Structure 1
Amino acid sequence: MNWIPLTSIAQLDEIAQAASAQIIFKHSTRCPVSSMAKRTVEYNWDELPENKNIYLLDLIQYREISNAIAERWQVAHQSPQVLVLQAENCIYHASHEAINVEDIAKYL
């Protein structure tokens, strides 16, 4: 299991230009609910296709990237939050306890 650190706004262009759906997990390192949601995703990681890019956004360090995501894909900022993006469209998103790997996998 390998998270891809999302550390620059330039990476959002790469995500939007990818041929297949991309996943972003927005995580607050100061929030116990976010930590629990991240552990749930990690525990169920094998339910996702092996070749999928899964980006991890540290909201404490990179809040401006979260703001750019909210503006570009028209999804209000939440924490924790998962988004499945296909080009310029957000095809699925969930936050807090609604984050479920089985649901994410349906959109890949």
Structure 2
Amino acid sequence: MGFLKHIFGSTEPKEEKLLPWQPLTDVAQLKDIEKRSETKTQVVFKHSTRCGISTMVMNQFVSLYDVDANLDLYYLDLLSHRNVSNEVGYKFQVMHESPQLLIIKNGMTVAHASHGAINEIDLNTYI
């Protein structure tokens, strides 16, 4: 049985890692994000719930996330909130991609990435 466990992995469920996501569901929240970015780094993760690549990148982001820092982390389901996603692009001057991560400080996007490049960003650099 131990041999099969090595091949197929454990049948015991892994403990899910929960991040301190704040849902981004309303355009009005963008003013708050801009204001809060003056004193605390704001991070927006734009996610397409129907895209396998987006789901893979999101899962990698969650598993790699080890920042115990002073930042706010927002989750944007861009399919459910397309108007918010569009406004994020206008307000923070970033062309839409999915999945996409934006790092906002002092009211401006200081870094952004999409697809696999998201997990190459060291968030600690921007805190």
- Normalising by the residue count of structure 1, what TM-score does the alignment of the two structures yield? 0.92
Q: Residue 26 in 1 paired to residue 65 in 2?
A: no
CA distance in structure 2 between the aligned counterparts of 1:20 and 1:49, rounded to whole angstroms: 13
- For these two proteins, the number of residue pairs brought into alignment is 107
* Deviation sequence 1:32-81 (CA, Å, 0-9, x none): 110011111110122x1343210000011001111101101110000000
CA distance in structure 1 between the aligned counterparts of 2:120 and 2:72, rounded to whole angstroms: 14
The 8 Å contact of residues 67 and 77 in structure 1, kept in 2 or not, is answered as yes
Percentage identity across paired residues of the two chains: 40
Q: Residue 79 in 1 paired to residue 98 in 2?
A: yes
CA distance in structure 2 between the aligned counterparts of 1:58 and 1:4, rounded to whole angstroms: 11
Letter in 2 for 1:23: V
The 8 Å contact of residues 72 and 88 in structure 1, kept in 2 or not, is answered as no
* Deviation sequence 1:1-21 (CA, Å, 0-9, x none): 221100111111111001111
The aligned residue for residue 38 of structure 1 is 58
RMSD over aligned Cα atoms: 1.3
Letter in 2 for 1:17: K
Equivalent position SS for 2:126: coil
CA distance in structure 2 between the aligned counterparts of 1:16 and 1:6, rounded to whole angstroms: 13
Q: Residue 96 in 1 paired to residue 115 in 2?
A: yes
Equivalent position SS for 1:41: helix
Equivalent position SS for 1:76: coil
Equivalent position SS for 2:71: coil
Structure 2, unaligned stretches of length 5 or more?
A: 1-18
Q: What is the deviation of 1:97? A: 1.0
Structure 1 runs of 4+ with >4 Å offset? none
Structure 1, unaligned stretches of length 5 or more?
A: none
CA distance in structure 2 between the aligned counterparts of 1:99 and 1:88, rounded to whole angstroms: 20
